[in-house]
A and B are shown apart, each in its own frame.
Chain A
Amino acid sequence: MTSRLDPQPLEWLDRSETRSFEFEGQHYIGFAGDSISSALLASGQTLLGRSFKYHRPRGAVTLANHDVNALFQSSEEPNIRGDVTPLAAGMQLTACNVNGSLAKDRDQIIGKLSRFLPVGFYYKTFHKPKKFFPLWERLIREKAGLGRIDTGWSVRRKAKTYGFCDLLVIGAGASGMQAALSAAEQGLDVVLVDENPQIGGSLDYQLVNEASAAVVRARLKHDVQNHTNIRVLPGHLACGWYTDHYVPLLGPDGIIKMRARAVISATGVMEQPAVFRNNDLPGVMMASGAQRLVARYAVKPGQRAVVLTANSEGYRAALDMVKAGVDVSAVIDMGSLAERGVWADELNALKIPVLERHTVYEAQGKEQLKRVVVAPFDGDKCDSRDAREFDADLLLMSVGWAPAAQLLYQAGGRLAYDSTLEQLLPQELPNGIFACGRLNGAFTLEQRLADGERAGAEAAAFLKGEPLIPALAACRDTQAHSHPWPIVDHPKGKNFVDFDEDLQLKDLVNAAKEGFDNIELMKRFSTVGMGPSQGKHANMNGIRVLAAVTGRSIDQTGSTTARPMFHPVPVQALAGRRFRPERLTALHPWHLDNGAQMMEAGVWMRPEFYGRPEERAQAILREVQAVRTGLGLIDVSTLGKIEVMGPDAGKLLDGTYTMRMSNIKLGMTRYALMVDDSGVIVDDGIVGRIAEDRFYVTATTSHADATFRTLSRHIVEWGLDVRLVNRTGTLAAMNLAGPHARKLLKPLTDIDLSEDNFPYLGLQEGTLCGVPVRLIRVGFVGELGYEIHLPVDAALQVWNTLMEQGAEYGIRPFGVEAQRVLRLEKGHIIVGQDTDGLTNPFEANMPWAVPLKTKPWFTGKPSLALLKERCQRSLRGFMLPQGYSGELPKECHLLIDNGDIAGRITSIAYSPSLGRYIGLAMVDQPLASSERMFQVRVDSGALVPLEPCSTPFYDAEGVRQTVDLTEVA
């Protein structure tokens, strides 16, 4: 029976606050400061969960975030780790992964069948006959998995912060605290973190009853908490080590992304289980787990105990148990008393029998430990003929340690097996990474303090660039604290190496015999170390087993890669606050006020059309007609807008775009087509010349950032004297298009708009409505048009004036949809829609934009020179037959020629100006250059004929955009 003890000197409980909660329908009461598991144990509930595969009864083992068989389910979260999750009032918990209830788990039957389920059994069966596998799979999936998700759970997010420090010390035990102090004394800005809610580490549970430790504890805690150079962060987990000492710290309020200049890992060691039959019964615990229970939570771990040990820690644990009122029946020492020094004498004084060179052969009990069977042990094998039994409800295992070296491994450190300590120890650490304490083989308190001091000094010297000879091994113990083979075989098995995954000794041995005799292969085949604790108490014994089976050393056997996270980290903390940058143009409020339907265009919002959703088609028609017959105004502020300045500006643009830009005349613009090295079209826009050494470049909305990056990169790569200013956000732009454009602008601007002064493709600066503007004569939509570029804060004023003054010409705002129709009537392409990831300018019918002969070099030219000869497809215009009224083809429907794919429609729309459906299609050769009808396959599978035709569909001579029709007329 477990029960609550009287107050312990260092307990974490706040006994003034009781907390009631429910578990499996039963009512319990604990204290503030309890973990879920400790509160249950305090009430005598030792069965906390069921194992993953066989549904065996499991209890508390470590109380250190490794108890993955004591997982709980609430109505808010799955897989709650009871051993470390603070008890909250009102919790309603059930066990995780049980079929029925924890007490009556129907899946216990699987445990009975375990002999039929050898290692990797699922690879060897269930696949015949094939048609049954989905059924088996369903069953297997349902049995696997742990907690249950409620897909109705709402989203949770926790904000993240950034942190910076000189030195991050991870682990606030004796060596970590000493290391922090030693570095802080040298003037470093130190952050000291510990995953536990209180600092102190094992000082607070393993050395509670040692007078000498009390003095050290008091000094260290006081000093680190009061040192001006140390920030202490208890309750923060170092999730992992990432490049350049970037260590996210998970705390109760979210993640601090800590960037340190150096890191000390003082993360200690993780106690490892002994492997014997039924070593998983509730009541069988790590000695350190029992010590945590007593010291932190004031829980008496049992009434009658047996301690299995291979080190002096086990003796101390036995003494701690006696102090807590536990009746210790025997200490079973796998080695000899002679190695245990003073501790042996103390036990002796208490008349506690010690059995040397014995080990536990088997534990017995149904849902709770009842009896311990011990037998002589020669360091390798157990002689069960001489077995003896002890009644006990508690069995402590103190047989060895594995370093919590995950962060060191992630940083690229190398560990090697030390046969003195029988433990893996750091051998070679990368720059800026240090290790100290038990992780580094310093076991006595004196060693740990000295090692902390050393690591702190080494880190300080490193950061200050002072010479100091590292002495990683200086303070290591000279005595083993781990047994090299804490493992005994048993004919009936159930001697677990991995509690997470329910793997028995024979499973690993058999995996190795089947050829999975590489540590990684063994892991993958047997799943050892793949459970939620990521092998924290399985990997070391797994390595020992494999080494024994293969006759290799521990170092030759190696270990599996330790990947982040250190413990599983909540998604809500990783995701952080939601941040979706959304860009709105200066005219956005106007669009909304005027009935625009907005659409996302990359990060921007743009008007799709103006009007109610149900009258979409008419609205778009209206807008198109306004542009063709009167006036239209569109917000094009989302275009990329880049100023290019400097003596080499022309050179930069010549190299970046296909056509020559350095010879553009002042006050003129030119179409700008960008291809990549392989000749594929990636962007288009215009380049205008503002001064001898100054150009203005526009890019498409979606490619604006990429174009800026490309230009920036070219400046560096080509060593040019050019500066770029990205004005996409600071300048608004609108396109005024329609036959009356000039008439509207004339009275509002000081720029001479006459055809002579300001021809098609011209660019002029001046004022419009009193605002400084840049006007560009453009023709994308095929009418007389001016793009007006102006400061964002003046955009609304100018827009309003144009709308008011334009009323007499029937001006309308138009959106992206109308623009798509208008440009299609002109046969202009949209990069990314009419082109794809392989389209070159020849295929897009723009050979005129590729001056192979006259321009010595530009990006993509070598490719285009080759591609010109082998144009395999080309963009063609088409119309649906006059009067066609069947099923409409859609963009990306395929052209079919003789039963084969012969291209696809890239754009299609109804043209109000022509009164017909028109479109562009990327057509394969030879169909592209034939005059045959195309056929497109529509959704129903029917083939619809398309009449090929030349583009532009509308105003082929381009009269309307170059000439002011109102003046001609």
Chain B
Amino acid sequence: MPWRLLKYGLKSSHDEPRFFPESRPLKSHYDVVIIGGGGHGMACAYYLAKEHGITNVAVLEQGYIGGGNTGRNTTIVRSNYLTPEGVKFYDTSLKLFEDLSDDFDLNIFYSTRGHFTLAHTDSALRTMRWRAEVNKHHGIDSEVVDRDFIAKEVPYMDLDCAGHSPVMGALYHAPGAVARHDAVAWGYARGAYNRGVEIHQRTRVTGIRTQGDKVTGVETDRGFVSCNKVVSMVAGSTPRITSMLGLDTPIEIFPLQACVSEPVKPFMDTIVVSGSLHVYVSQSSRGEMVMGASVDPSVLHSTRSSFDFVEGLTDKMIDLFPFMSRMKVMRQWAGMSDITPDFAPIMGKTPIEGFYLDAGWGTWGFKATPVSGKTMAWTLANDRNHELIEPFRLSRFTDFDLVGEKGAASVGH
């Protein structure tokens, strides 16, 4: 038994310190206001305080910490992307993830599982090879594997897919992992709070004040606060924030849904994604099968669940895992994904001085939580885009310098 548990047992009272502050009044001025208390917002606050000594910071969250997509996602962390820009960026994040529990002294249940992206067509297999080659070039553990390899690692999967679209091979990414999403947000929040950052839940930003082309503060449902810099880290709510400034982005909101089964004893140690069947699955540490698909077909600003989603998902899932037909779906939910045309994020400075954007995280932004926080904090502190995020600048849509990640991000998240 770890000594920490012994300590709990031997103490008579539970005197654990708070993770987050109690509700307090807003100050009238902050150096930096972070809109959105999801993983990204909290990580940015954390690194601002920890690495740049900037602590006169407020994170304003309309609901509760991690209640947006951070608390809804299926927590896949991987770096086997398609573009060199993406690969470098996500790999930095993965490395940060690996040390996060230590860094926080909070167990985020970072669990390396191995990640299979199945190919059911020769064109899919071609894309996998492309990804594997780009990945390997950047030193990432990623390879195209054949049916025999898959059969050995995931012996209970029906590689013939019940007779249609049999699996031809897969992209295998050994470092692929899952983690406890909430704990990531909480760890960053606690670390930021302990370093002096203010966290205000139930505080919604309703407007952004500017003078000329420069930000002067934000309006909230608890009053105005002035600030020098504002960074929007609101994922699915990004259009609402950018429209406050008349700023145009090509982001569209699509619902992304997921569901979990009733918990069962562990049998699946890997993460399995099928782009052709549009499904993916992993088993959580609680034993639930965490299952998802690609985004809904049309734009919608809503977190409603649909029955079609579970129908389609389960129908395909049992082609791969016939025995799962004997399990039960316990809960389903949806998040609003902020999707960009090239499936890469939008990060960094904007044409409005003092306004920074971290958005376009679509279905893949959980894994970027650490690196986004770190690079955005650097960017805010230096008022210059961090080199890792330069390819993701907003202006690429007008300069036509896109970062095509569609092939690597549409189902795999």
Report which A residues bind B (CB closer than 8 A).
76-79, 97, 113, 115-118, 121-128, 130, 133-134, 137-138, 140-142, 144-157, 160, 239-240, 242-243, 246, 248, 257, 410, 506, 510, 513-518, 520-521, 524-525, 530, 532, 534, 561, 563-565, 568-572, 574-576, 578-580, 582, 600, 678-679, 832-833, 836-838, 863, 866-867, 870, 890-894, 901, 904, 937
Contact = CB atoms under 8 A, between A and B. Distances in A.
Contact of B4 (A124, A514, A517, A579): A124
Nearest to A155: B322
Given A150-B323, A571-B317, A892-B133, A78 B330 contact: no
Interface in B165-197: 165, 180, 182-183, 186
A832 B106 contact: no
Contact of B400 (A410, A572, A866): A866
Contacts of A122: 107, 109
B230 to A, nearest CB: 24
Contacts of A569: 328-329
Given A506-B14, A515-B18, A892-B133, A837 B406 contact: yes
A513 B19 CA distance: 9
Contact of B262 (A115, A410, A517, A568): A568
A116 B5 contact: yes
Closest 8 pairs between A and B when the two form their complex, measured CB to CB:
A145-B287, A151-B156, A116-B9, A568-B328, A155-B322, A153-B323, A127-B101, A892-B130
B400 A574 contact: no
B407 A836 contact: yes
Contact of B107 (A117, A125, A410, A524): A125
Contact of A116 (B1, B16, B404): B1
A124 B311 contact: no
Among A79, A524, A833, A890, chain B packs the most CB atoms within 10 A around the CB of A524
A125 B4 contact: yes
Nearest to B321: A151
A152 B323 contact: yes
Interface residues of B, number: 94
A576 B315 contact: yes
Given A568-B262, A894-B133, A524 B71 contact: yes
Given A513-B18, A571-B317, A79 B8 contact: no
B285 A140 contact: yes
Contacts of A679: 400
A240 B65 contact: no
A532 B307 contact: no
Interface in B104-119: 105-112
A518 B129 CA distance: 47
A123 B187 CA distance: 10
A142 B264 CA distance: 9
B382 to A, nearest CB: 27
Given A146-B263, A866-B400, A157 B307 contact: no
Nearest to A512: B18
B262 A146 contact: yes
Contact of B5 (A117, A239, A246): A117
A151 B102 CA distance: 36
Interface in B313-342: 314-315, 317-319, 321-333, 341-342
A832 B311 contact: no
A413 B17 CA distance: 37
B64 interface: yes
Contacts of A240: 305, 307
Interface in B270-286: 283, 285-286
17 contacts: A116-B1, A123-B106, A125-B2, A125-B4, A133-B110, A137-B285, A141-B287, A243-B304, A520-B67, A524-B182, A570-B325, A570-B327, A832-B123, A866-B400, A870-B400, A894-B130, A894-B137
A248 B285 contact: no
B107 A257 contact: no
Contacts of A257: 307
B315 A937 contact: no
Nearest to B310: A574
Contact of B332 (A154, A563, A837): A563
A515 B342 contact: no
B331 A563 contact: yes
B21 interface: yes
B164 interface: yes
Contacts of B155: 151
A600 B165 contact: yes
A77 B331 contact: no
A137 B305 contact: no
Given A521-B65, A837-B406, A867-B400, A78 B326 contact: yes
B329 A863 contact: no
A451 to B, nearest CB: 28
A156 B325 contact: yes
B53 interface: no
B225 interface: no
B121 interface: yes
Among A149, A516, A576, chain B packs the most CB atoms within 10 A around the CB of A149
A363 B78 CA distance: 50
A636 B110 CA distance: 50
Contact of B9 (A113, A246, A904): A113
B299 to A, nearest CB: 14
Contacts of B2: 125-126, 128
B220 interface: no
A704 to B, nearest CB: 16
Contacts of A242: 304-307
Given A156-B325, A524-B182, A837-B404, A146 B18 contact: no
A115 B342 CA distance: 51
Contact of A145 (B106, B164, B265): B265
Nearest to B104: A127
Contact of A155 (B156, B162, B180): B162
A395 to B, nearest CB: 29
B402 interface: yes
Given A123-B183, A575-B318, A248 B102 contact: no
B325 A155 contact: yes
A870 to B, nearest CB: 7
Contacts of A836: 404, 407
Contacts of A578: 162, 315, 319
A837 B43 CA distance: 32
Nearest to A77: B326
Nearest to A869: B400
Given A242-B306, A532-B330, A515 B5 contact: no
Contacts of A126: 2, 107
Contact of A157 (B19, B261, B287, B318): B318
Contacts of B165: 600
A904 B180 CA distance: 37
B127 interface: yes
B134 interface: yes
B407 A153 contact: no
B58 to A, nearest CB: 17
Given A79-B328, A125-B107, A133-B101, 7 more contacts: A145-B264, A149-B327, A160-B311, A514-B18, A571-B329, A575-B311, A575-B318
Contacts of B333: 561, 563
A941 B326 CA distance: 45
B201 interface: yes
A740 B362 CA distance: 55
Contacts of A890: 129
Given A122-B107, A145-B263, A892-B129, A863 B323 contact: no
Contacts of B5: 116-117, 121, 125
B224 interface: no
A520 B164 contact: no
B107 A124 contact: yes
B283 to A, nearest CB: 8
A532 to B, nearest CB: 5
Nearest to A257: B307
A894 B329 CA distance: 43
Contacts of B99: 130
B267 to A, nearest CB: 5
